[in-house]
Every structure is written in structure tokens, then in C-alpha cells.
Amino acid sequence: MKKTLNVDFSKKHIEKNLSTDLGFANWEVDYLLAKVETEFNINLATVNGSNGVTVNHLLQQIKNSA
């Protein structure tokens, strides 16, 4: 993952989809989710595949793990 991720965390941008709106390939989203699961010791299996992950969902899961 050599892309630079620059997200404006306003309400408008927090609902962006990682694969369709931010341009990540499905394998990149899968890799990112696996790294997040490992780092924060959470289970993101509730996400319906890579295509349904928004920035907000990812951030909420991380927040809930704290």
C-alpha cells in the first residue's frame, strides 16, 4: 500500500466507501482491515465484504475497541 490516504473527516467525507469512493482495490481494503483487526484486536467480520466499508464504520469499530 504505497498510496497516501488523505481524508477530510468532515461529516460529508466520513461516509465515503473505502473501495469505491477512495479508490482502494478490494485486496487493499482487505489488507487494511486485516491490519486494523490485528493492531486493535477487533473483529471486522460484521462488515459485508470489502465493498461495504465506510471510513465511519472503520473509525467506529476502532473507537469501540478502546
Express each pLDDT in 36-49 by its tens digit.
888 888 877 655 55
CB-based burial label for 18 (10 Å; 0-12, 13-18, 19+): buried
Q: How many CA atoms lie within 13 A of 14 on its CB side?
A: 8
Domain edges within the chain? 23-65
Decide: 5 and 24 in contact? Cβ < 8 Å.
no
Taking the whole predicted model, whether its pTM rises above 0.95 is answered as: no
Q: To the nearest whole percent, how much of the chain has pLDDT over 70? A: 70
Residue 30 φ/ψ, nearest 5 degrees = -60, -40
Q: How many CA atoms lie within 13 A of 58 on its CB side?
A: 23
Could you tell me if residue 16 is left (phi over 0), alpha (psi between -120 and 50 degrees) or otherwise beta? beta
